[in-house]
Amino acid sequence: MRAAIVAGALALVLAAGAAAVPTAGKGAACPAAWKAGWVKLAERIHAPVYCPTWMPNPLDGRVGGQMQDVYSVSPDRSYLLSFVSFEDGGTGFVHVNFRGYPGRTTIPKCGTVTTAGNRAIRRMVPCFADPRGTLRVGDILATAYTVNQGEDEWHVLYAWRHDGSLYTVSEHVHPPYTYKMVLNNLHKLMHSLVLVEPAQ
């Protein structure tokens, strides 16, 4: 039943298409107050990154700013950049993740632990699973995933490939945003993305 609700809600958002939300066009740029941090990340990983020009309230996309939560770059140059806000004494929670995997297009694997009686069963599973349709935004063809692991658990996630690399953006489903509102947020986020190249 939940899967049907999820699929239906996603279908409504995906069906809205680019006509519902203006796409960041060729003239769009990473906001001036945010750009330096995204350029620095691109230079650090020696690959392009996607900067948002819109973020769900009350978040911003300023790397190193008050809303930044996690800034992690692995030895393989993959990165996690996370923004979070706690509101209303902890009852409101807005959390958005950006990931990139330079030089790889396959979905990474994540470790999980389940129990069977007294036994712990450890296995590796795709970090992003349960695909629920696609969204075309300019040159991006993104797949929506609703079963995700690690920092993206309880998130809806979009993943796409560009120039031999995998990229994702996800948002946690949690008040003050309903599931449908999170889908709409992600729709706006995807349409707001601009590519930031490493400075030459």
Q: What is the pLDDT of residues 77-134, one digit of tens each?
A: 999 999 999 976 667 899 999 999 999 999 999 998 877 788 888 889 999 999 999 9
Cα–Cα distance measured from residue 14 to residue 25, given in angstroms and rounded to the nearest whole number: 19
Taking the model in full, what pTM does it have? Answer: 0.87
Q: What local confidence, expressed as pLDDT, does residue 121 receive? A: 85
Cα–Cα distance measured from residue 198 to residue 151, given in angstroms and rounded to the nearest whole number: 26
Cα–Cα distance measured from residue 170 to residue 88, given in angstroms and rounded to the nearest whole number: 22
For residues 141 and 159, is the Cβ–Cβ distance under 8 A? no
Q: Which distant-in-sequence residues (6+ apart) come within 8 Å of 142 by Cβ?
A: 134, 135, 136, 158, 159, 160, 190
Query: pLDDT (tens digit, 9 = 90+) per residue, 143-187?
Result: 999 999 999 999 999 999 999 999 999 999 999 999 999 999 999
Q: What local confidence, expressed as pLDDT, does residue 187 receive? A: 97
Q: Would you say the C-alpha torsion 39, 59, 22, 132 has a positive or negative sign?
A: positive
Cα–Cα distance measured from residue 145 to residue 56, given in angstroms and rounded to the nearest whole number: 19
Q: What local confidence, expressed as pLDDT, does residue 25 receive? A: 56
Q: What local confidence, expressed as pLDDT, does residue 66 receive? A: 94
Cα–Cα distance measured from residue 38 to residue 138, given in angstroms and rounded to the nearest whole number: 21
Cα–Cα distance measured from residue 141 to residue 161, given in angstroms and rounded to the nearest whole number: 8
Q: Would you say the C-alpha torsion 140, 48, 28, 145 has a positive or negative sign?
A: positive
What mean pLDDT is predicted for residues 189-199? 95
Q: How far apart are the first and last CA of the chain?
A: 51
Cα–Cα distance measured from residue 142 to residue 161, given in angstroms and rounded to the nearest whole number: 8
The number of angstroms, rounded, from the C-alpha of 182 to the middle of its chain's C-alpha atoms is 12
Query: pLDDT (tens digit, 9 = 90+) per residue, 29-57?
Result: 999 999 999 999 999 999 999 999 999 99
User: Coil, strand or helix: which one is 173?
Assistant: coil
Left if phi > 0, otherwise alpha if psi is -120 to 50, otherwise beta: which for 157?
beta
pLDDT tier for residue 10 given thresholds of 50, 70 and 90: low
